[in-house]
Each structure stands twice: as structure tokens, then as C-alpha cells.
Chain A
Amino acid sequence: MSGVADLSALELRDAIAAGTVSATEAVEAYLDAISKREPAVQAYNEVLAERAMEQAQAIDRKRRSGQAIGEMGGVPVAVKDNLCTPYGRTTCASRILANFQAPYSATAVARLEAAGAIVLGKTNMDEFAMGSSTENSGFRPTTNPWDSSRVPGGSSGGSAAAVAARMCAAALGSDTGGSIRQPAAFCGVVGMKPTYGRVSRFGLVAYGSSLDQIGPLTQDVPDCALLLGVIAGGDPPDSTCLDRPVPDYLAELDEPVENLRIGLPKEFLSQALAPEIGAAIRKAADVYRALGATIIEVALPHSRIDVDADGKLSSYAVACYYIVAMAEASSNLARYDGVHYGHRTAQPVEDIIELYSKTRQEGLGAEVKRRIMLGTYALSSGYYDAYYLKALKVRRLIKNDFEAAFRQCDVLLCPVAPTTAFKLGEKTADPLTMYLEDIYTISANLAGLPGLSIPAGVSKAGLPIGMQLIGPVFSEDRLLRAGRMYEEATGVSRLTPEMVRKQPGYRMPPGSSSSSALRR
């Protein structure tokens, strides 16, 4: 059975449909991978082994009796722990929700299951999705499968690490400022933040409601197309989710985009970027040029990165994003008050205000408290105009920049993060240095645009380098096809960390590249 957990989601789907692998074997293979690699990676907050086995047996019975088993029949997936599931716990990696059992399922999860996917477990994250390294988890950090002394990125670090370590075939994450794309880049997997309104957020625990989107983390671009097609589309309970037809993202995936015009935002290829990543992005541009694309330089002036005399970085977009996200968070997280669900203080209290305050003091982590307080401040009387309203105006300027850029090009090619995966503990002391991790990803959230993060290659130190394609609203099909062009042309696809490759019985999947072959 070795090798089952090394198949892509699409290959596994086909193998199960053809009867060459059973859903039960698939789940067993992943549970085996989890038993071997989870102790080092710690990607899961909860593994739902028993339920997954029952689901697999049901799929196998269905298939044997000749019934359709769905577009993802029998494929084991992992789900970020801020997506509600009516089984297991939904904790958001927060102590305040440590024992919370959701009464209903997030639409995105329900759609995966309706397509036959099997939920293996809930993945670790930065508490309430606030962070860029998964170190803000209220439980424990997840480590990067490429190097256990490094972070997997965040906030969807558990989902990215689980896919990279082949402890699930694919996963769901959420992206408010880069939380799918940056961990995908750090772990060498594919991650997409869809257009705001493409995927229903019903059952996603809210952080920044005007920014949050759910999206896939997968081994390659075809798997991303598969999952996006399953989860996308209108959903009445989420009125921000648009009822637009969902294209068959897989149908034309292998068709190269003709006359592709790629914009390189000149502000992003600055001294703030690690030279190796800048080189990888330029090299990717060369790959596209060789495939017939036109490369032009475009300007995103309000997303630019300034470096002062002391080397300190600053960016309008980062300031704008954090004000908006924190303001929305301060409102969204008011519900964790110890009244309806979650932790409640055991200390004696005089009145309900004290109950709220002590409960939140005990249950929320330091970063969550900082963001709630800053958001509260930005919205408070006397400061609203200077911070929140100002940020909303700058948000308009950022969106206008993208609209101008997309009059000249079809997609933007840019970095995902300024560096490759950093060391655990390297950025925890100063919140601002962690916020700057999001410098290349937040603008897409502010403007509501889709962004695709795919592996560009591997660094000299053996760590994955990501690249990002950003497109106009609802251009997911174009992004996926453009991403596929790069995968096909370079063979940089399904990067596999040493911890998986050294596994006895591991065989290289067809079409995947070994990381050593990619080092330049």
C-alpha cells in the first residue's frame, strides 16, 4: 500500500473511482503517514481517525454497489480549525474555544464532503487566524516539514504542513492577509485565495469579514482546480458570496493562456526582498517569456515598500490592512464573552462586565488581545477618522492601483513573502516584524482579488520558494492555467520534503521533481 499517500488528490480520486485503491486503503495510508510524521510536524489539532474510517467504508460500499461516489470520492482532506464541523471540535487554536463543538458545518466543508471527500482532521493555525507563522496557536506551534527548526508560515500553517508532509491529500485554509498563500510558499505547496465572494464563508469563524476567504492548499495546480471547483459558488446563508456560475476549472487547465500579458510590480522587487527570491521571480518571468508571454513593468504605488536609513521597512498597504483587519476583528471577536459558548472564568465576579473581562483575559492569547485592543482604539470616538476612515480611503487607492495595472496586463507576477521559512521564535518578540511578512499578500485581500501561490523552486538552503500570480476579480481560471503553464514548463511541481522522501517504500510520483534537481 506504500505510495497511496504519495498520489495527488486527482490521481487518488481516479484510482479510487477505478477500484485500484479503496477509500479505506487511502484513509489507512494517511493515518499511517500521520502516525509517522505528525509527532515532528504537529499539523493537526485533532485527527478524526474513527469517523474517517467509517466514511471510507461507506464510500467503498457505495462504489461496490455501483453508485456514484462524487468528484472527490474517497479523497482524504484536512480542514483548518476555524472551519466549523458538526463533529470533532472547532477551536480556532484558541483556549477560549478549546472544547467548542460546532452545531453545523461550514458550507465549504459540506461541499467537499458532498463530493465524497473524507475529513481526516482539523489543522493547527495561529489563534483566530492572527499570525504568519502558526506560533500564535494557543496550543503549540506546527513545524515546517522541510526543516523542523522553521515555521510552516501562517495562519493556515497546519494545513500547508499537512499537505507538504503528505498527511492528507489536500486541505482547506482561510486567507485574510496571506494566510493561505504564505504558508503554501513556506511549505512548497500550492495555495489559492479566491476572489472575495467566490467561496461561501458560512461556517468560517470570522476574523476580518471584508477580507476573509476560504481556499485550497494542494500538492499541485490541478488539485487546486479540483478543490476550488467543488467549494466555489453562491450560498444564500453568506450574502457576500456571489451567485455566479462556476467554471469547470479542470476542463481547460492544460491549455496555455494565449497572448498572456504579465505585469511585474516594480515596487515588489525591491531591496526588501531576499535576493534569492527576487532572482526566482525574474527567472519565472523568463520562463513565461519563453512560453510566449509579454512581460511588462507595472506600478502599484500604494503597495510599495519603503526602506528607511536604518533598514526599517514600511508600507501603506500593511498599515491600511492592519487597521482594517483589527477593527473588524475587534467587532467579530466581541462574541467570545463566556456567555453562550467557550471558556468562562471560574473566578468570582461581581457582574457580567467582570465576567466578560476575566474570561477574555484567561482565554485569549497575547496577539489576539493586541489586535482587539488596537481595533477598538481605531474605531473609538476621536480616533475613528484618523485611523479607520483613513485606512478605508487608502484601501480605495490600493484597489485603484490594481485596476490601472490590469488595464495593461492580465496577471501580476510577484513574490509571496520577503523570505523563505524563518526559524521558530525568530519574529515573535516584535509584532511589527511579523506583520511585515504579509507585505506582498495583503493588497490582494484589500482589493478582493484572487491570488495563487505556487512553488517557484528551492533555495540553496533547501527551502521552498514561492511565487504569486494575482488576477482581476473572478480570474481564477486564468490564474490556474498560468500556474499550470509554469508547472509544466519547469517540472517544479509536487515538491517533496526529505521527511517524506526518506520514508521506506516511497516512490517518486510521476511528474514530480526531487528538490535536489531544482537547486540552482
Chain B
Amino acid sequence: MSSTELFQQNDQTNLLFETNLSRRHKIGRFWLVVFQASTLIGIIALITLLYNIVNGAFGLVAIEYSIDPATLSIDGVPLEDLSKKQLTMIFQENVSTGLFRRYESEKPFEERTREDVLALVQERVVEPQIVETWDLVPSILNRNEILTEIDEKYPDARAEFVSWLNPNFITSPQSSDAEKAGVRTAILGSLWIIAITIIIAFPLGVGASIYLEEYAVDNYLNRVIQTNINNLAGVPSIIYGILGLAIFVRALEPISSGALFGLVDDPTTANGRTIIAAGLTLALLILPMIIINSQEAIRSVPNSIRRASYGLGATKWQTVWHHVLPNAIPGILTGTILSMSRAIGETAPLVVVGASTFITIDPNGPFSKFTTLPIQIYQWTARPQAEFRNIAAAAIIVLLILLLALNATAVLLRNRYSRRYS
């Protein structure tokens, strides 16, 4: 017996209600498809993003050499495996006497390491130069066409498959040459800034949320404060940049440049545009987010726990410290993780605060000049040369990995605490 027949059997139902079960199911199925489609679109967007990045970070390149490294091998031993003595000889033979003497007087070849000499040979003798690059997907799918094209267009060039993301890329400082440029200064800058941001914003944010949730009475002033915090969370980040520029860079320059503490070697270069100014600006930016998320976490601690605590003769502070905070800490940490992810990806406020576009020296403290990964990526994508787009893609991968690593640490911390208290 079908459902409709079952419906018809019940005479009383027949009079008042219509047979609409199949239509109700149909509506349900329609919305299910809609929701699945929106999930699918999200997944497609994410895959496209990853495709784009990976596509740029690896691929074939055509390299032209002044002298083909293959011709420099001695007795079948490739250039990379030659001894220091042989390398020095090759270097001496292939450069002018004047240049050799200059390097000799800079640092005698006797004292140089093998790797050092090899690098010199690569840079001065072999002189590799990337003349054209291809993305990953064409490099795989149209490999043969590309190889023929290289042969035709650049008869002297060699085709090589390179990963733009390599150990050298991570450990080298910025350079105007895409092949030599790396993200070392940017990674260090990002880590310094995020550390300062969290050190400032986390205690301030949690403190404010405890006050607002547990202590503040419901009066006009506190409602105004609460509304303002909610609105601040939605203020565009560039406005925080302007605020940071006005306060931390300009008004507090003696402090943010380190001059007040006598900590700066060359006061003319950094002014207030230092790591500490950037960290404080980002701390301001994420403070409302941390406050709101922490308030939410504190609010979700059941009131029965608070009552139990008061019922035992606990003071307000004992209740907050022993029960409210331990139960809210997983939620507070989740909010902090989200805020941290936002801060590490911020570009606009740092541009305004005055991130350096080109520095090759590692930041060595809160009063150094800085650049960060997003700034670096932004700079590189704006360059006309194709290779810079490839290293920008590689830098994006580095940024994503850094983000994942920081988030994983925070998630581990959170899980540790939630296990302990429940």
C-alpha cells in the first residue's frame, strides 16, 4: 500500500487535509541541492586558489649560461662535485685578472670554503640567466612542445624543471634578482610582528572581556562601550593603519623607534616605522575580535557553575579564576587563533604604517625596520618580470604553511586545556 492510499484510508483526514507529503519532500530535496551546490562552489573556489598557487610555484625554465657548466667539468666530474682547488682554478681562468685580485684581496681564496668558491663560479663564470618560465601544468602537459620551443628560440639555453620553493628561497634575504631572492627577512618580520601582536592583544582582550562579562553592570556607559567594541571589529583594516601611523609611528616616535632607550644604531632610517609600531597596530586591529570572542566564550560557561562556586562562599575573583576562565579558555583560544590568522595575513595597515619594500638585513629586535610575507608577496606580484610571479606563488605557499603551523600550535594548546577541564 502506498502512502497516498494510506492517507485515503483515513476518512477523517481526507476531509480536512490534502495529500501533500510528496510535495513537502520535494521542497526538502530542493533545498538540500541548493546547500550542496553552495558547498561545492566553495570547494571549487578553494581548489582554484590552490591550483593557481601550485601552478606558479613550480615549472620549466629556460636558462642561458655565459659558459655552459657542462663544459667546465673536469675528467667527467661535474662542476658541483669539483674540489676547492679545481674550482679556484676555473674561476681564475675565466675572469679578468683584476676581478680575481679584487676577490683575493676581499678574502684570500685560501680561507674561502668550497661552497663559497662554487657560488662565486656559479655567479661570475657560469652566470645562469632565466630567459623564460613556464607554469607547472603546461610544463607537464606540453613538455615536448616547450622543449622544442626552447631549442628554437634560445639555442644556447638549457631547459630545467625548477621548484621556486626551495631551501635557498626560505633562507635567502630579499634580492632584486628573482633567482636569488628569498623570504628570510619577510618570515622573520612576520614572526616578530605576530609575537608582539599576540603578547599585547591577548592579555588586554581577555582582561577586557572578563571585565565586561563578569564585572560591568548593565548601565548606559557600558552599553555604549559594548556597542563600540562590536563596531570596531568591523572597521576596515586600513583605518587601523592610519591610526597606527598617527599614534605609534608619528606621535610615539621616540618610543617606537627605540631612540628613547638608546637602542637604535641609525636613527635616520627607521624613524617610527618599526616592528613594534606594526605589532601595536595589528594588536589594535584584532583587539575587538579577541574581546568579542572571549566574551562569547565566557558567556557560554553555564551559570550553574558560578552559582555552585558562590554557594560555597567563593568571592567573585575566585569564581572567575577557578571556574569561569578554565571553562572558557578553549573558546578564548579559538577566538585568538582566528584573530591571529587575520593579523598574519594583513597587508593594508602595514603598508600605511610603513613596511619596508626592500630590506636585506634580518630584523633583530622590536625597533628594526621590517617587511612581512604578505607585503613581500604584494611587492613581487607588482613586478613586471615573470619570475617574480613565480616566487610570489612560492611565498604564498610559505605564508600558508606558516599560518597552518601557527594555527596547529594554537589548536594543540586548546585541546590540551579542554582535556584538562572536562
Q: Do A and B come from one complex?
A: no
